[in-house]
Amino acid sequence: MATLECNDITLHYEVTGNGPPLLMLAGFMSDHASWTPLIPLLRDHFTCVTPDNRTTGRTTPWDAPVSIETMALDAIALTDHLGHERFHLLGHSMGGIITLQMADTVGDRIASAHLAASAPVRLTRNTALFAALIAIRRSDAPPDTWLRALFPWLFNPRVFDDPQQIEQAIADSLSYPHGQSVDAMAHQLAALRDFDGSALAHPNCPTQALAGGLDLIIPPDHLLNVLGHLPHHLIDGAGHSIHWDAPETVATCVREFTAIHPI
217-238 pLDDT, tens digit each: 999 999 999 999 999 999 999 9
Give the number of domains in the chain.
1
**Residue range 92-119, pLDDT digits in tens:** 999 999 999 999 999 999 999 999 999 9
Note if the pTM is more than 0.85.
Answer: yes
- The domain containing residue 27 runs over which residues? 2-260
CATH number assigned to the domain comprising residue 63: 3.40.50.1820
Name the pLDDT band for 193 (thresholds 50, 70, 90): confident
Contact criterion met (CB below 8 Å) for 77 and 102? no
Question: CB–CB of 203/98 below 8 Å?
Answer: no
**Residue 1: pLDDT above 80?**
no
Tens of pLDDT, residues 11-48: 999 999 999 999 999 999 999 999 999 999 999 999 99
**Based on the number of CB atoms within 10 Å of its own CB, is 44 exposed (0-12), middle (13-18) or buried (19 or more)?**
exposed
Residue 129 has phi, psi (to 5 degrees) of: -60, -50
